Amino acid sequence: MTPTSRYRVQSLQQAQISTCLHHERIMLAPLSQSEATTLAVGLRRCLLKGFEGTCFSTLKIKHPWVTKNKKRCYEYLALPGIRETIRDIMMNLSSVVLAGIPIEKKKAKLYTGQEVGVFEARHIVLPEGIYCLSPNQPILTVVVPLELELELTIERGSGFRIRDGGEHEDGLFLDARFNPILQVDYQIQRAERKLEFDRNEKISNIKQEALPYKIYQKNSLSITKEQTEIKEQIDDELSEKENTLHLQLQNEQEQDYFCLLFFDIWTNGTIQPIEAMQEAARQAIAVYIPLLRFASTVPLKTIAQKN
């Protein structure tokens, strides 16, 4: 049996909670306690750190009141004619899920014109190759007709970047969640391994196979000298087999259980959980491949011990 043939991967549950929220429960078995712990920690780190995604990174607001009074936009500013504060708008934009791979930073715009009402993510004009998976995400509510324009920067990256609250040359920084993996939980459970035979049954089988029927006849007076020698020889073989069996059963008792490793993965819909698990496994394997291919070119030096 090859080292990889004894492991089994199974998808226990799949659910699409919404367009931008997918969940899957994956099981890996059988594993030892150390194997389960090592895989759980390593794969979880790869899932939460090793993926790239696309999202809005900065925001510029062009509002008539801001332009006229030459005001500086900041996070907690309330703009006339808009129900939400700038902070609320920034949080709503951070919740928009984008798909696509921009080669460089691209711009997107939301223009309200003279319309009044709730503007959602579907009203944002996106560049070619970028599309929105959460079109019903509310962005802002305009209560009076005004010329409002939001200029957004689309960026691709990894991990999570927290805004600093200040205004920069590119605009206000948003909370940029690049990683499409929203959450990863794991659980390790022990399961007992059922032994095929107990010790008494195995010893009984050894006796029936090893000793001739005549030696265990009830009339022991009929046993000849030749049969006695055979019996002593077989007793020695039986004793050796019992000792071997005892060591084997002792080893089985130490390995009479195995572990099940369960992963619960939530993604934003740009990647499926099982695909994310496969990519995390590739990233983990890529670390070990150089070790497998490593050939030492440094000559060994013999250290002479001084007497």
User: What is the pLDDT, as a whole number, of residue 207?
Assistant: 54
Higher pLDDT, 167 or 71: 71
Q: What are the residue ranges spanned by the domains of the chain?
A: 8-51+183-290, 52-178
**Amino acid at site 285:** I
User: What is the pLDDT, as a whole number, of residue 293?
Assistant: 80
Higher pLDDT, 186 or 295: 186
User: What is the pLDDT, as a whole number, of residue 47?
Assistant: 93
Q: Taking Cα atoms as reference points, which of 159, 238, 176 lies closest to residue 204?
A: 238
Q: Taking Cα atoms as reference points, which of 53, 24, 74, 7 lies closest to residue 277?
A: 24
Interval 246-280: pLDDT, tens: 555 555 554 567 899 999 999 999 999 999 999 99
Calculate ∠ Cα 181-84-139, nearest 5°. 45
Interval 59-82: pLDDT, tens: 998 888 877 777 777 777 888 889
Judge contact between 99 and 133, C-beta under 8 A: yes
Helical ranges in 95-224 per DSSP H: 199-210
Architecture of domain 52-178: Beta Complex (2.170)
Q: Would 8-51+183-290 and 52-178 be classified into the same CATH topology?
A: no
CATH superfamily of the 8-51+183-290 domain: RNA polymerase, RBP11-like subunit (3.30.1360.10)
d(C-alpha 139, C-alpha 137), whole Å: 6
Interval 184-213: pLDDT, tens: 999 999 887 654 445 555 556 655 555 444
